């Protein structure tokens, strides 16, 4: 077997005529253009990745079935909230969300005999076929305590606008008009009471129609688009209910000043 090195020495290089200088320059320019184009494409891909990845990380996951906007559609311009004459066309927008430190429970009884409970566990309040609570509101907050033969509930709701708040109290008055009894079997007597907060208000007592102990005083007051519902229940009668209403009126008037922070009108 011949040595491979010897085989290599016997090979003759093929004869090629040297290329003209112009052809060499043309081929060199072509190679440089290809390298430049390759660098440009790589840079474009990196730029696309740099833009797309942060957007993917920032966008929330959209649940299946949730309609999405067409990316080719131009965004709809936001309507100007002011009318052509420059006046605000929005009806009493809320100035701020209800503060977490709003003193809603300021006047609720405390002590070892009382405990706070979740208002969501309380039964709704319906008077003469009209639901007083829970009421629809853009934002709301509630507090409730229970004790021996005693229940206190406070609910503050900010409605979408003052017109809805006015309608809530108007509907309540309309339901109470001419309604003497309510509840299962007309077991509760409806007793209109006097308030006196100086605000738009409704105050009524729901007591045992047979004269036995047991009932509650319900008061609604409105400040702009905000509504405060106060309920005090216990061993009440038609004769003693006004005293409880007077106490609620004083407490509601105190909270009304704090309600100004969540409604832009009415104060």
Q: What span, in angstroms and rounded, lies between the C-alpha atoms of 15 and 126?
A: 108
Exposure letters 128-160 (e unless 16+ CB within 10 A, then b):
bebebbbbebeebbbbbbbbeeebbbbbbbbbb
Q: Is the pLDDT of residue 28 over 80?
A: no
Q: What span, in angstroms and rounded, lies between the C-alpha atoms of 127 and 133?
A: 10
Q: What is residue 88's DSSP assignment?
A: B
Q: What span, in angstroms and rounded, lies between the C-alpha atoms of 236 and 245?
A: 11
Q: Give the CA angle between residues 194, 186, 252 to the nearest 5°.
A: 25
Q: Which of 65-74, 101-110, 149-158, 167-176 has the lowest mean pLDDT?
A: 65-74
Beta-strand relationship, 150-158 and 215-223: unpaired
Whether pTM > 0.85 for this model: the answer is no
Q: Is the pLDDT of residue 192 over 70?
A: yes
pLDDT score for 3: 52
Q: What span, in angstroms and rounded, lies between the C-alpha atoms of 267 and 264?
A: 8
Q: Give the CA angle between residues 129, 248, 177 to the nearest 5°.
A: 30
pLDDT score for 11: 44
Token digits for 67? 């309609």
Q: Which of 75-79, 105-109, 115-119, 175-179 has the highest mean pLDDT?
A: 105-109
Phi, psi of 164 (to 5 degrees): -65, -35
Contact 245, 194 (CB under 8 A): yes
Q: Which of 19-33, 78-92, 192-206 has the highest mean pLDDT?
A: 192-206
Across the chain, the runs of DSSP E, i.e. the strands, are: 115-116, 125-127, 130-133, 139-147, 150-158, 181-182, 188-192, 200-208, 215-223, 226-234
Token digits for 171? 């509907």
């Amino acid at each position: 077997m011949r040595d491979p090195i010897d085989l290599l020495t016997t090979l003759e290089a093929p004869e090629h005529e040297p290329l003209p200088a112009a052809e060499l320059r043309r081929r060199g320019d072509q190679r440089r253009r290809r390298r430049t184009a390759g660098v440009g494409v790589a840079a474009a891909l990196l730029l696309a990745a740099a833009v797309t990845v942060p957007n993917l990380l920032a966008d929330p996951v959209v649940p299946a079935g949730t309609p999405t906007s067409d990316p080719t559609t131009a965004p709809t311009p936001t309507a100007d909230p002011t009318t052509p004459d420059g006046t605000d066309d929005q009806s009493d927008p809320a100035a701020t969300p209800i503060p977490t430190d709003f003193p809603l429970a300021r006047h609720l009884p405390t002590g070892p005999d009382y405990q706070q409970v979740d208002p969501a566990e309380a039964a709704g309040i319906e008077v003469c076929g009209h639901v007083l609570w829970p009421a629809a509101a853009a934002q709301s907050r509630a507090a409730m305590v229970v004790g021996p033969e005693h229940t206190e509930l406070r609910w503050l709701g900010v409605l979408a606008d003052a017109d809805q708040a006015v309608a809530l109290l108007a509907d309540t008055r309309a339901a109470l008009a001419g309604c003497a009894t309510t509840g299962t079997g007309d077991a509760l007597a409806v007793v209109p009471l006097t308030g006196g907060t100086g605000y738009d208000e409704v105050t009524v007592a729901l007591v045992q129609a047979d004269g036995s102990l047991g009932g509650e005083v319900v008061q609604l007051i409105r400040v702009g688009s905000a509504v405060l519902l106060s309920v005090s229940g216990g061993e009440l009668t038609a004769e003693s209910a006004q005293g409880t209403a007077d106490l609620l009126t004083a407490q509601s008037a105190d909270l009304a000043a704090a309600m100004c922070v969540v409604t832009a009108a009415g104060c």
